[in-house]
Amino acid sequence: MPTDATPGNAGSPAAGPRTGKEYIAALDDGRTVHVGGKLVGNVAEHPAFAGIVATMAAVYDAAGEPDSPLVDPDTGGLALFTIPRTWEQHELRKRALEHWCRLTHGFIGRGPDHVSGVLAGFASHPAVFDTDRHQLGANVVAFHEYAAARGLWITNSIVPPQHNPTDPTSRVRPVQLVEERSDGIVVDGAQMLGTGAAVADEIFVTSVRPLSPGDEAKALSFIIPIATPGLRLICRRPYATSGGPFDYPLSARFDETDAMVVFDRVLVPWERVFAAGSVEVVNRQFFGTAAHQIGNLQSIIRLTAKLRFLTGVASLIVRANGRDRDPAIRHELADLAGIQTVSEALTESAHAFATQDEAGVYRPAGKYLYAALGMQTEVYPRAVKILGELAAGGVIQVPAAAGDLLDADEAAAMEVLMGSDRLPLAERVKLFKLAWDLVGSEFAGRHVQYERFYSGAVPVVKGYAYRFYPFAEAEALATGFLDSYGLPTPAGAAAGVAGRAA
């Protein structure tokens, strides 16, 4: 019997996006989440997750504010799910993404703003999911409506566990189809990671890596609630518990957490299956639809927001040390500003040069989109390095914890190291602790690794950029120039002059 959790039963359009309170309440659903060998009860109450849950609840609440740019006035739901069929809808999505990323300063990679775009891309091209064996396009459309009506946070897990495929003793099994039943498919195995999975509503599982004939068992695409029986999450070390919000301000609020995803014979109901056993569908779903391009507009808007935030911290650090007039330091800040501006310019271009595909859906321009995505693997580590250079020992010359500043003797001792009327001790320590959470903490290191790998290994990401660059146009210029001269005539050679084409 269809229930409220059954796609196809989306009901009337949302009266408005759900509130933060409703998001938090939905997390208490009996999901299986392990941290440090222990099973977590309600994630919203666990110290590893309470910070990120509060952050995301505040973002959901922001969508309820009057005239929030996060809301599509036509549906009353989150504009993140809107299929950009008109230029106005394309603009609406961009404004919603920018607002979302401003609220989270670009530190949430796999929040509700990513897979919502992927789904919008899928739902605009349902025929891609229909094969002779399974007609699943209608599932995609119904699930998109269902998720949009509820403003669900769906994360993704689209890469197999890292392992040695030539090791005959390996027990690693990327998630695969083990049974097809009348009520759904049974899947078993594991996926490498699901960022945000512990605190999301649902998870999208597939293979973003191209599959080959013979890989039918791995050819899956589906979305299920995190609380589905048999689904287990094994989380990495939480960073939110590194220290208090004064000492680790970013870790405390924005640790979206990452978890390995294990499937113990999980039953996926048919209405949540988009591909089962079709290599062709899995290989076509991202680029045969608008999904990859719409989904990744979020990636570059997010990176732009994060780089802007980092540049702001760097500029404050420089001013705190009175170095803002030093040409060498200005040079470093200008490099940072350049990195941020290039990211912003590519994002604006990807949006502005979007074109409608055969289904009438606006796809962000691939040339700019993938140039930005390909660049992030190098520019984010570089931006962090520049901030680290500017902050230097200042990020180490701080007391162990906020409590030290509350101790009068300790604070007096530190006054001779950092005291100033212009920048009081506590403010200085606060700023440099924020910088440390960007350049040196575990959270900081994870973010560098995230920007380098979340979209795939470097050759994969650059492969997208290669595919979308119009090399023929550039080649024509070079060829034209080459054609403008030739071998010198004997007389010209003697005079040292190359022959010119007519």
Ligand X SMILES: Cc1cc2nc3c(=O)[nH]c(=O)nc-3n(C[C@H](O)[C@H](O)[C@H](O)COP(=O)(O)OP(=O)(O)OC[C@H]3O[C@@H](n4cnc5c(N)ncnc54)[C@H](O)[C@@H]3O)c2cc1C
The contact set with ligand X (CB under 6 A) reads 110, 156-159, 162, 192-195, 258, 446, 449-450, 453-454, 456-459
Question: Whose structure tokens read 């003793």?
Answer: 169
Alpha-carbon distance of 318 to 304, in angstroms, equals 21
Q: How far is the CB of 459 from ligand X (least distance, A)?
A: 4
CB 184 within 8 A of CB 270: yes
Instruction: Give the whole-angstrom CA distance, residue 341 versus residue 343.
Output: 5
- Are 254 and 54 in contact by the 8 Å Cβ rule? The answer is no
Q: Which is nearer to ligand X, 110 or 272 (CB)?
A: 110
Task: Say which residues have a Cβ less than 8 Å from residue 268's Cβ, sequence separation at least 6.
Answer: 184, 185, 186, 187, 222, 224, 228
CB of 91 to ligand X, least distance (A): 28
144/446 with CB nearer ligand X: 446
- Name the strand (E) or helix (H) holding 47: none
Q: How far apart are CA 170 and CA 176, in angstroms?
A: 16
CA angle centred on 143, ends 138 and 149, rounded to 5°: 130
Nearest distance in Å: CB 54, ligand X: 21
Q: Measured from the CB of residue 163, what is the shortest distance to ligand X in angstroms?
A: 8
Cβ closest to ligand X, residue 158 vs residue 346: 158
Cβ proximity to ligand X: between 71 and 197 the closer is 197
With respect to ligand X, which residue has the nearer C-beta, 220 or 390? 220
Which residue in this structure is represented by tokens 């190291």? 417
Give whichever of 237 and 319 is closer to ligand X, judged by the CB atom.
237
Which residue carries 């509130």 as its tokens? 19
Least Å distance between CB 467 and ligand X? 14
Closer Cβ to ligand X, 90 or 114, answer by number: 114
Do the bridges between strand 231-235 and strand 32-35 make them parallel or antiparallel, or are there none, so unpaired? parallel
User: Between residues 72 and 256, which has the closer beta carbon with respect to ligand X?
Assistant: 256
Residue 92: exposed, middle, or buried by beta-carbon count in 10 A (0-12, 13-18, 19+)?
buried
Rg (CA), the chain: 26
Task: Determine how many CB atoms are found less than 10 A away from the CB of residue 269.
Answer: 17
Q: Which residue has the tokens 């403008």?
A: 484
Minimum CB–partner distance for residue 268 and ligand X (Å)? 17
**In the block, residue with structure tokens 């759900």:** 18
In whole angstroms, the minimum distance from the beta carbon of 489 to ligand X comes to 47
Query: Smallest distance, Å, CB 96 to ligand X?
Result: 21
Distance in Å from the first CA to the final CA of the chain: 78
CB of 377 to ligand X, least distance (A): 9
The nearer residue to ligand X, 82 or 157, going by C-beta atoms, is 157
